[in-house]
Structure 1
């Protein structure tokens, strides 16, 4: 063992500064960003600024980094700070053991991954009782050292006879030699460099295999009953599917890798030439690999593959959720919401164009009751009484029978402006049974609340969906198979991003919606609503400072995302932060226009003609901030969601039996996953557009082509009426196919 080196330790502040700079440099390199961008972002985050606030109102400081870049910086800084803390802890433990060398300390300090640190720490970790620890207790470590020295001459068995000790349980030379081999095998298995090489080799060359535990059993995993694929090339969704099959005890899964290259590498690292113990060392190497390294590395590699699958699943869910939350609101329509069912009947809820609940009812037009005539009377009466313009049907049990019934009602009504829409009702039942729903609709039962939620979903998807746990909104893949903590954090960030992108009307927003505004927590959100109820509508943003618990920092973070439609200051209905109001005043003076012109076509044209680069110098403001100000002033009160296409409204039902190959249809993308997109074409089950059918060109991922909520033109490829499956394509068929 090398002697412990004596070094002069720098003071704690210097160490912290060095660590911080090391982290900044590494993050900048990883993300291809400048040191200034990463350093400034780190400082802003440490000061308690939120990511939506930094992305929107600190563009000059960060070089206009977007939310995704800022979140990546935050994630990497947190990871690397935890890594640095772990390094300190590992160095301390090894030093307390009196085994810390200068070389080892440098290796730990320079490690860039937690796995590297753990590999270096492995030989010094307290272990449970092992074959090697037992052999050490029997005094066989010197024999192991003798073998490791690879003597040119000598006889291992004769050397081992010196360690026979019946009292310690070493009955003969063979037992002594086996104990020494166990010690060496564990030492080799703990070698950081060897483990790193074998881990990389296993990941690059390992074949993930799966087989059925019972080949006769029918299951959704039949594709994997006799399956093997190069592990590193497996798509994430396949990894998670196989994991689930294993967890459900249907599949037996393993990692198959050729051991000979690993043996050769280890021998090249360990055996230094011809010696009296080279055959023993070869046997030790084989044992170390087969018994200790391979099983451990297989677990690590499979964990790495699972993490890859989970990260992708969370990424897909997050992107789908954002697109769903940002669906355009449907304004100006009174809506009849229908929560379909069989035995318990269809629950109805009428809401006015502001979402206020007007009436609830229950009808039984579906089996087993089939009371269509009575149900039709209720529908016709509600449509006429409340001037209903849109009927919204949840896509749950009985939805297609309810759809058929609604289509008939529309035909009987004869009003061409009356249409219907099928919406994804995922999470409606979760919301209906929640404490929030009970507070909102104390006089309704669970099913009636669900109908009201379904109706409101089209009027303002964001405001309604934020009331539901994001995990229950059902636009992902394998979301139940991933780390729920990481999923929850990721989805919360998505909802926060969407809410702040749109902004909230502080006079109408629910506590659920307000709690996602930058800097606002659930307590402050409730306090805002309580203040509003006790003092009346907010008439200017400054009044938010009077809300209990809403301090100066929270005000700074949230106020730009709060909107006051009919307030004292017209700027309060824009995304312009109050800290920039003076800039706006100077701008209007420069343009010689009064603030009351805000929203006029005249002002919009004038603003569009300005040159931000030149104007920014006059106003002493950053160009990115001025660009945002000009954009906000041109379209005050603009809802960015309104630029998105509205969903496809329907008046009649399409059945799977109506479909023929080559038929052209309009549909709405309901879910995007790794291998394609599910499209609602108006039949009971959504059709699948496989990734290979999304475009005539190469598609790396379906999200590069489509998003949740997109209206798309598709053509029917194949129909399986028995299984209720429809294959679609977005590649326009040739005329010959269409004519056939």
Structure 2
């Protein structure tokens, strides 16, 4: 079976898909199509697979390609040694995991100098083979005499016997079935034991200073926390288990021992040495590595899910916004931003200690509100945000206008402010002034602003510094790409930061598009994009459906792909409606009366594609983010001291981790809803109940003012609250 057929067969079996689906997806990927493009515009070919399934197919096929390549390499290396048997070749070819291949290759892998290799150099391999013979084991000391050789430093029978034992110990260690069994047994029965390096030293790891938990039960976030503590030299970690079943298992699994009716003392010594010296350290590393990989995958999955929801937060359109980057000594930087994101004014006020210029600062706010018609104040949640919030709330209370404020996470704002992107946008402003602009724009269009920031810096993950960075960055990049293409962008207003994530485009093409737009004016149609340098046929095919243009052709502002325009025109003709009237009630009424299945056959296009066309004709400029709940605005300050047990509040989910959910309830400190407090039903993971950005009802369980901690519940029954 060639590699492609092997990959298809494995993916079909693992993901429970049809063979034709997998074959088509792999063909489309090999042909240079992107995941967002395939998911949106090749539904008929894939049977309507979504992006998640497509990425699973891509990831598994890449792994299986690497597996196939490694198999071929191992077969070649063993073959060159003249040791490749038919049975071994079949075992290698049947392997479905890289670890299995490495286990099979281990006995043939060139080793550095070991005790066993030294014994072999001294000619003791035949002696070791004799030790494995039940008929000879009782005469082994007599046999050892014939191997005495002072020139080889074999002065005593003890030297000879030890050499034989070393050779057999390595043979046991190299046996694939033994390794695989011990690895599985350790995973099933081992216990993670954690101790403090110094019990007297205070640290965030104190709960792990004397900690034990079965490997099978340990939660992912604990694995990463323990790893971090170990890396910081605060914790000692090891795996402990009952070793006697291991020794019995080796005796059963290592085939030469099958000949023994009873295991002699000398063989028992060999087994114990092989396990303790050669197998256990390696297996412990391997088991912990698997634990870490699974924990990393879970942490990255949570981060990616949170990031997706954060990027999909609804934009607040048509509002004049004042962004505030709070500070103490250097003052609060203000940025007035108009409804389309243009910066109208930059100021600095000093309402916080040590300056405390409250009245002077209020005059500045009054001037900005009167001059620009500001409606919303957006305050970053960093240093001095609490004092700034109180100042803004007092100003709103004294004002006659309908004003409101909101505190948003400024995670990553400093990263953006010092970035090349920010310097190019605002070369004459300092870092904190750019930060105030970013804070304001995050409310107006979270997606457009947050794509300018390194995804792992946006503040919705946990342990992001403890996972494999390449894997994290790839996952988060996929999320940003998915969201940008899901929402779509206006080719006449989108920044390079947004455009570079569009299917088929990269930063160079995005820069070319913006430069062409600035030089030649706005695009009038999608066809105009073909004039952009390096915007070739393949780029056009992959990108154009995700680029919107409100121009000459009304279809250009939809997500209908130009390749489907003719079918769309035919559909509109059959309805007797010109393309200029898409989105009207008349079109919606007439389109609701047609039989889509018959129409798809008549037009010669797939039913799934026709359904997408119909959706776009009904809602041609739909922004999917508009369907999500808007953020909660405030007019007055709520302090942690104001919270009472049983108090009911509305909050916004800010972050989700394995053990619970952090909710913004209008207090500076986010409250924690532990996983056990999310529902009266069993909750396997918080993501099964809520998403980042959700507006939820919560009740206060308890507060710790000194430690600034708030415990919340989403279960009214918890406190017998109605």
Band the TM-score falls in, shorter-chain normalisation: over 0.9
Secondary structure, in 3 states, of the residue corresponding to 2:146? Answer: helix
Match of 1:475 among 446, 455, 460: 460
1:29-68 pair list within 5 angstroms? 29-68=13-52
1:121 and 2:99 aligned: no
Q: How far apart, CA to CA, are the structure 2 residues paired with 1:154 and 1:314? A: 58
Q: How far apart, CA to CA, are the structure 2 residues paired with 1:272 and 1:388? A: 85
1:330 and 2:316 aligned: yes
Give per-residue Cα distances to partners, 1:680-732, cap 9 Å, x unaligned. Answer: 01112100001111111111110111111111110000010110100001111
Q: How far apart, CA to CA, are the structure 1 residues paired with 2:381 and 2:68? A: 50
Query: Offset of 1:607 from its aligned partner?
Result: 2.1
Match of 1:653 among 625, 633, 637: 637
Structure 1 residue aligned with 2:252 = 268
Query: Offset of 1:160 from its aligned partner?
Result: 1.0
Secondary structure, in 3 states, of the residue corresponding to 1:480? Answer: coil
1:321 and 2:307 aligned: yes
1:345-384 pair list within 5 angstroms? 345-384=331-370
Query: Offset of 1:151 from its aligned partner?
Result: 2.3
Q: Count matched residues.
A: 720
Secondary structure, in 3 states, of the residue corresponding to 2:238? Answer: strand
Structure 2 residue aligned with 1:294 = 280
Question: Is residue 604–residue 635 contact of structure 1 (8 Å, CA) maintained in 2?
Answer: no
Q: How far apart, CA to CA, are the structure 1 residues paired with 2:440 and 2:173? A: 62
1:588-599 pair list within 5 angstroms? 588-599=572-583
Query: Offset of 1:153 from its aligned partner?
Result: 6.4
Match of 2:434 among 432, 441, 449: 449
1:101-140 pair list within 5 angstroms? 101-140=85-124
Secondary structure, in 3 states, of the residue corresponding to 2:716? Answer: coil
Give per-residue Cα distances to partners, 1:291-329, cap 9 Å, x unaligned. Answer: 111111000000000001000000000000000000000
Query: Offset of 1:372 from its aligned partner?
Result: 1.1
Give per-residue Cα distances to partners, 1:540-593, cap 9 Å, x unaligned. Answer: 10111111111111110000000002x110000000000000010110111111
Match of 2:381 among 375, 379, 395: 395
Give per-residue Cα distances to partners, 1:384-442, cap 9 Å, x unaligned. Answer: 11100110000111111110111011111121x21101111000000000011000001
Q: How far apart, CA to CA, are the structure 1 residues paired with 2:323 and 2:719? A: 42
RMSD (CA atoms): 1.3
Q: How far apart, CA to CA, are the structure 1 residues paired with 2:112 and 2:718? A: 68
Query: Offset of 1:609 from its aligned partner?
Result: 3.2
For structure 1, which segment, 367-376 or 704-713, has the greater mean C-alpha deviation from structure 2 after superposition? 367-376
1:689-704 pair list within 5 angstroms? 689-704=673-688
1:630-649 pair list within 5 angstroms? 630-649=614-633
Q: How far apart, CA to CA, are the structure 1 residues paired with 2:393 and 2:228? A: 40
1:23-422 pair list within 5 angstroms? 23-151=7-135, 154-270=138-254, 271-274=257-260, 278-415=264-401, 417-422=402-407
TM-score with structure 1 setting the length: 0.96
Query: Offset of 1:231 from its aligned partner?
Result: 0.7
Structure 2 residue aligned with 1:11 = none
Question: Is residue 150–residue 276 contact of structure 1 (8 Å, CA) maintained in 2?
Answer: no
Secondary structure, in 3 states, of the residue corresponding to 2:669? Answer: coil
1:596-675 pair list within 5 angstroms? 596-675=580-659
Q: 1:243 to 1:734 in 2, by over 3 A?
A: closer
Q: 1:625 to 1:44 in 2, by over 3 A?
A: same
For structure 1, which segment, 216-225 or 385-394, has the greater mean C-alpha deviation from structure 2 after superposition? 216-225
Question: Is residue 203–residue 232 contact of structure 1 (8 Å, CA) maintained in 2?
Answer: yes
Structure 1 residue ranges, 4+ long, deviating more than 6 angstroms after superposition: none
Q: 1:340 to 1:136 in 2, by over 3 A?
A: same
1:517 and 2:502 aligned: yes
Question: Is residue 156–residue 277 contact of structure 1 (8 Å, CA) maintained in 2?
Answer: no
Query: Offset of 1:152 from its aligned partner?
Result: 5.1
Query: Which stretches in structure 1 are left out of the alignment for 5+ residues?
Result: 1-14
Question: Is residue 52–residue 67 contact of structure 1 (8 Å, CA) maintained in 2?
Answer: yes
Structure 2 residue aligned with 1:10 = none
Q: How far apart, CA to CA, are the structure 1 residues paired with 2:368 and 2:681? A: 50
Question: Is residue 95–residue 101 contact of structure 2 (8 Å, CA) maintained in 1?
Answer: yes
Query: Offset of 1:277 from its aligned partner?
Result: 7.9
TM-score with structure 2 setting the length: 0.98
Query: Offset of 1:289 from its aligned partner?
Result: 0.8
Secondary structure, in 3 states, of the residue corresponding to 2:540? Answer: helix
Question: Is residue 664–residue 670 contact of structure 2 (8 Å, CA) maintained in 1?
Answer: yes
For structure 1, which segment, 359-368 or 438-447, has the greater mean C-alpha deviation from structure 2 after superposition? 359-368
Question: Is residue 131–residue 137 contact of structure 2 (8 Å, CA) maintained in 1?
Answer: no
Secondary structure, in 3 states, of the residue corresponding to 1:243? Answer: helix
Q: How far apart, CA to CA, are the structure 2 residues paired with 1:735 and 1:449? A: 46
Query: Offset of 1:154 from its aligned partner?
Result: 4.7
Q: How far apart, CA to CA, are the structure 1 residues paired with 2:74 and 2:134? A: 32
Q: How far apart, CA to CA, are the structure 1 residues paired with 2:186 and 2:324? A: 54
Query: Offset of 1:276 from its aligned partner?
Result: 9.8
Q: How far apart, CA to CA, are the structure 1 residues paired with 2:185 and 2:85? A: 29
Query: Offset of 1:342 from its aligned partner?
Result: 1.1
Give per-residue Cα distances to partners, 1:134-189, cap 9 Å, x unaligned. Answer: 11111111111111233256511111111111111111110111011101101110
1:426 and 2:426 aligned: no
Q: 1:694 to 1:154 in 2, by over 3 A?
A: closer
Give per-residue Cα distances to partners, 1:84-132, cap 9 Å, x unaligned. Answer: 0011111111111111111111111110000000001111111111111
